Every structure is written in C-alpha cells, then in structure tokens.
A and B are shown apart, each in its own frame.
Chain A
Amino acid sequence: MSFSDAELLILLLHNSKEHRIKGRTRFQKIVYLLKNQEINFQYEFRPYLYGPYSVNLKKDIRMLTKLGLLEEESQEIEFDGVVYDRYVYSLTEEGRQVAETEAGRFPEISGRLAELAADMEDLSTGSLILSSKYVMNHELSQE
C-alpha cells in the first residue's frame, strides 16, 4: 500500500477540524511535523524565514487547487494591529468524495492522521513555527 503525497494531503484535510487548514505557513508546519511522526511524506524541507518549508509541498497544494479538489479562500486577519492576508484551504465537494473513498480503503492511516492533526489543532501558528524550527534545527545538527 503506497500513497502519493497529494493523496495524503487530501486525507489530512479530510481529518482536520472542519476539513480545513488556515494559512499556508500553518499547512507547511503541520506537514513537516507529521513527516517527523512517521507519516510517509516524501517532501524535502529546508529552513526558511518561518521555519521548515518545502517547495514541492507548495506545488502539490497548488496542483490540487487547480485540479478542483482543494479550495483556496483569502481571509483578512489582524495581528498586532496589522492586517494580513491568510489563505484558508478546504476540500471541495469533489475532494471530499475522493477523500471518503481513500479513507474507506485505508482506515488505519486515516485514523492516525486524525489523531495527529487533533494534537496540533490547539497550537497557534506561531507555536507550530517555533516547534518545527526546533525539530528541524535538531535534525540538521544531527547530520
């Protein structure tokens, strides 16, 4: 049984709260931390301004959006008196159908993703950035 990264992303969204992930940065950090917890993502991450970042992950998110499985919605949020744009990703109707079929076929991985996604749900994006920076720094210093 093997998954492509894109399929795992669909399953991840399916198992996230309200089937959505709020923010591109948040999306990146969640996938990075999942990869460090034995979820078999192939993405390679490099240290960037806000912690680990993978170009291929960005490409896959964009691909799924273009193919009509993910929906990207722009939202304005306020932080420290400054207004920022944030992108909220959610599954489209078609994406949900694909996800349900996959979740039915592979309940084990789907359940594990639900568990791990719930663990990260309460953390703010800032905390996720700091945590993943720590994990990546640790990983790079081990090499």
Chain B
Amino acid sequence: MSLFRIKDPIYPDFKIDEYKSNFALMQSYAVNRLRFIKQLGLKAYSGRFPSANHTRYEHSIGAMHLSRQFCDQLYKNTQDLDLRGSIKEYGPTIQIAALLHDIGHGPFSHVIDDILGIFGESHEKMTVKIIEGLLADDIRNLDPSIDIKDVCAIILGNHSEHAYLNDVIHGHFDVDRMDYLARDAYFTATEYQWRAYSLMQSMKISKIPQLTNRKLDAMKKEIESSRIPKRKEIRDAIDLVKDLWTDHVCICNEEGVVHAEMMLVTRRAMYENVYYETSSRIAEKMISNAILWMIKQNKNTKDMFLDPRIFITLDDFELFALLKQSGEYAAEIVKRIKEGRFFDLFVEGKVAEVDRLKAAVIKKDYKEIETIQKEIAKELQTEPERVLLDIIVKKGFERNRVFAQIGGKVKPLEEVSAIIEALVSSIEKEMTFGIYVDGEKVKKKNNKHKQTIVNILGGKENTQ
C-alpha cells in the first residue's frame, strides 16, 4: 500500500501514505459501505444528470484530504501561538471527523433523511450513534489519544473548547461543503472552475475583538439588576465567558473574497439547476413513499432505519432489493424507477397561498398532510399512494455567518462583497409545494381537477 496513489478527478493525485494512520478506518465496513451510496441520490437515474454516479465514499475521502490541507493552511496563516498549537493538537481528530462525517447517511442519501425526519431522527444523529456504538474501538486502536467525544462534537459543530473547530466541518465554508460543491458540480457539468484549495489559502483563524472593560462593567450591572435566572452566577462568570468561542475561521485577504464569491456562484447554480431538479425530486419522493408503504405493511422494517447495527447494512442496492422483496406497491415503484416511468408533476404552487397546507406545515402535522393527500386521491378516484405531496424548502445563504478580515477589520462577507450581497438576496426563495400523480393510473387530469386540488389544499378560487 505504500505507493498507492488516490486518483480523484477533483484534486491532483495524493498518496495514501499521507493517511496511513487512517487506512484501517478507510477500509472498515462502515466506511467502505459508502461506496454503495450515491452522493446525489436518484439524480443519476432520472432527468438531466446521468453522470451523477459519484458516491459518498469518494466525497468522504475528499473531505478528509481537504481537511488535512485546510489545517496546514490555517496553521500557516494564523499568528496566535495558542491557536497554532491547538490546530496541531486537533489535526488527526479533524481528519477522522472529516472521513466519518457522512457515515450516518442511508441509501440514496437524502431520501432516507426524510424518513428519519418523520421518526424524529437525522443522519447526523445516526452518524454519532454509529461512531460511538460501532467504531469507537477502531478509532482507539488507530490512535489512543483521540477522544471519540471530540470527533462527534466536531461533526455536529458543538465543540466547546474552540469555535473554529466547528467551522472546519460544520461551518459555511467548511471542507464538507467545499468538497461536495466541487464534486457535484464536476459530475453534473455545472462547473465554474472553482477550486477549494485557492479559497483555503486565504483563510486563517481569527479572534473576535474582545469587549472593553467599561462595556463589560455596564453589562454586569445590567444583568445583575435583571430578573433572569442565574444572574448572580452569570455576573461572576462574565470575565471568563467573554473569552469563550471567540475564535473562528475567517477569510483574510481580498483574493480570498473573490474565491468565496466563486464558490457561492457555484452553489447558487447547483441549487437552481441540480439539487431541486423536478424529475429526480419526483423519483426520490416515489422511493420514500414506497419505504413508508413498506413500513406500514411490516412494522419490523422500521427498525432497519433506526437501529445503527442494521442501518449500516443498508445501501442503495440493498434498499432496492428490500423494496422488491416487499412486493406489490414497493416492488412496482422499484421497477418503474428502473424503467424510467415516473409520476408526473400535476400541480405546483406557493405554500403561503394555500391556507390548510400552510397551517399543517406550521404545526408540523404529518397526519394532516397525509389526510390532505388522501382527499386529493379520492377526488382523482385513485389509491392514496398514487398521489405524492412534496413540500420544497430551498436553502439560502445567511448573512452574518462568514467573516473576512480586510485592512485589520473583521466584517461580514456580504458587507465586503457586492456580489455576495446580491447573491444573499437572490437565493432567498418562497416555500413551494408540488403534487405528483401517477399518470398511468390517474386519468382525471384537467384544469378543473387542478382547481379542486388547490381548493382541498386551502387555496382560494383561481389562485392557479
């Protein structure tokens, strides 16, 4: 293995030797399983992106590789000696966290996220369960000095000692996002020639300027005379508190701002053209509906998605087999995905304009959403599972989350760059919904039916 070189289209070749210490982990079952989970879910099986066949495994290796380079750059660019010491100390932990950050993803990545969400779980929680329950010994064997708790905290972004650690994998310009944007853009031909490495070269760890003593004293008085609980302890601890979580990753020169702009332009293109593409969205909704159908038929299958020991045996292919085995509707859906016979988009609109659906979304009332789906099916004289109701929330870019230090002053990125300011405003999107119906079973599909559906959702007359 010593001369083994990883070939990756996104980065120049790198030697596996550089990651010798992690090699055993890279070969472990839990990590290797990611080779069988497509990064972009069903994108490769539908629509315009037949090349989107890359997997979570290559993304994880890529993130690990980037995290090492990121730490090197941060070390080089940061002046504070304590912080430099901490980068050295946490370097190996960060690499392991980057390698394992997606280990809790299930078949077709985000399809299973929806299912986990309904049961109050998420892939992040699953990641922690798998690391703590199944990989803890492996990690200890690699390097006894690595604390499992640190690995999990860095992945979840709640490390309490240093805030910059939370920015490395769970931030806004983190190695996870840098790798998946570059990789997804490459495999979906949405590329804008943006490279993570150039951005990292201009990043460092910075400290937020501390409060002056005069201001601190004023705040102490304010807190003491207030009625909030623990006010006395807070007042006494303020001198300690003012130093906490003030270090963070930040962009430190103008060239970095240009690379950040390019990354965000790529991100916008990905969100507009790829991540929410309708046909793959329909395919994903079909699969998740088939899973819910399967769980309803056989309650035992629910545990497969909740018990980490069974969960890590699942991948894209196993899920297809499982659904096929369940027969009837689930098997039919798998067959239709394979034959490219998807449901059709029938009605779409803004959630804000349909009151009943809006109320259900605010209340997070999954039962009501199911009832609405049933009523629509009844109206179209078909079975409930032939109608899918999809609620689409597009992610935006936040203000005040990424900072740049230019000319000695730390400022939010959107204040430094007019392009980013414009992007922040344009990425904001309405919350929308889509009704997908099985065109092979539902024959009633004219404008009159569209209007009835809008009425069921709580829309006013002629909102279409």
Contact = CB atoms under 8 A, between A and B. Distances in A.
Interface of A: 4-7, 10, 24-25, 33, 36-37, 46-49, 51, 58-59, 62-64, 66-69, 85, 98, 119-120, 122-124, 126-127, 130-131, 133-138, 140-141
B362 A64 contact: yes
Contacts of A7: 362-363
Contacts of A62: 396
A119 B227 contact: yes
B227 A46 contact: no
Interface stretch (B43-51, B58-66, B192-200, B234-242): B234-242
Given A6-B362, A46-B157, A67-B431, A134 B230 contact: yes
* Chain B residues touching A, majority SS: loop
Given A4-B363, A67-B351, A131-B234, A46 B158 contact: yes
A52 to B, nearest CB: 9
Which residue among B156, B231, B241, B242 has the maximum number of chain A CB atoms within 10 Å of its CB?
Answer: B241
Contacts of A6: 362-364
Contact of A47 (B166, B363, B403): B166
B351 A119 contact: no
A46 B166 CA distance: 9
Contact of B208 (A36, A47, A49, A123): A49
Interface residues of B, number: 47
A10 B363 CA distance: 11
B399 A85 contact: yes
A4 B244 contact: no
A35 B167 CA distance: 25
Contacts of A46: 156-158, 166, 170
Contacts of A123: 222-223, 226, 228
Contacts of B364: 4-6
13 contacts: A4-B364, A7-B362, A10-B362, A46-B156, A47-B159, A66-B352, A66-B431, A123-B228, A126-B211, A127-B226, A131-B228, A134-B230, A134-B237
Nearest to A118: B227
Interface in B103-136: none
A133 B431 contact: no
Contacts of B229: 36-37
Contact of A133 (B156, B170, B244): B244
Contacts of B400: 24-25
B233 interface: yes
B226 A120 contact: yes
B285 interface: no
Contacts of A66: 351-352, 430-431
B384 to A, nearest CB: 24
Contact of B223 (A85, A130, A141): A130
B219 A48 contact: no
A119 B248 contact: no
B163 interface: yes
B362 A47 contact: no
Nearest to B248: A49
B17 interface: no
Given A123-B228, A140-B158, A134 B245 contact: no
A5 to B, nearest CB: 8
B160 interface: yes
A130 B393 contact: no
Contacts of A122: 222, 225-226
Which residue among B248, B364, B393, B403 has the maximum number of chain A CB atoms within 10 Å of its CB?
Answer: B364
A66 B362 CA distance: 11
Which residue among B159, B215, B234, B248 has the maximum number of chain A CB atoms within 10 Å of its CB?
Answer: B234
B318 interface: no
Contact of B362 (A36, A59, A69): A69
A38 to B, nearest CB: 10
B246 interface: yes
Contacts of B430: 66
B361 interface: yes
B233 A133 contact: no
Contacts of A133: 241, 244-245
Contacts of A130: 219, 223, 234, 238, 241-242
Contact of A134 (B170, B222, B233): B233
B54 interface: no
B262 to A, nearest CB: 24
Which residue among A49, A62, A122 has the maximum number of chain B CB atoms within 10 Å of its CB?
Answer: A49
Interface string B203-224: 0000010010001000100110
Contacts of B223: 123, 127, 130-131
B35 interface: no
A51 B228 CA distance: 17
B356 interface: no
B80 interface: no
A5 B120 CA distance: 14
Contacts of B138: none
Interface in B152-197: 156-160, 163, 166, 170
Given A47-B166, A48-B166, A137-B244, A67 B362 contact: yes
Complex A-B, nearest 9 residue pairs according to Cβ-Cβ distance, in ascending order: A46-B158, A140-B160, A119-B227, A4-B364, A127-B219, A134-B234, A6-B362, A47-B245, A67-B352
B358 interface: yes
B361 A63 contact: yes
Given A67-B358, A119-B226, A134-B241, 20 more contacts: A6-B364, A24-B399, A33-B228, A47-B244, A49-B245, A49-B246, A62-B396, A63-B431, A64-B362, A66-B431, A67-B352, A119-B228, A124-B219, A124-B222, A127-B219, A131-B230, A134-B237, A137-B241, A137-B244, A141-B160
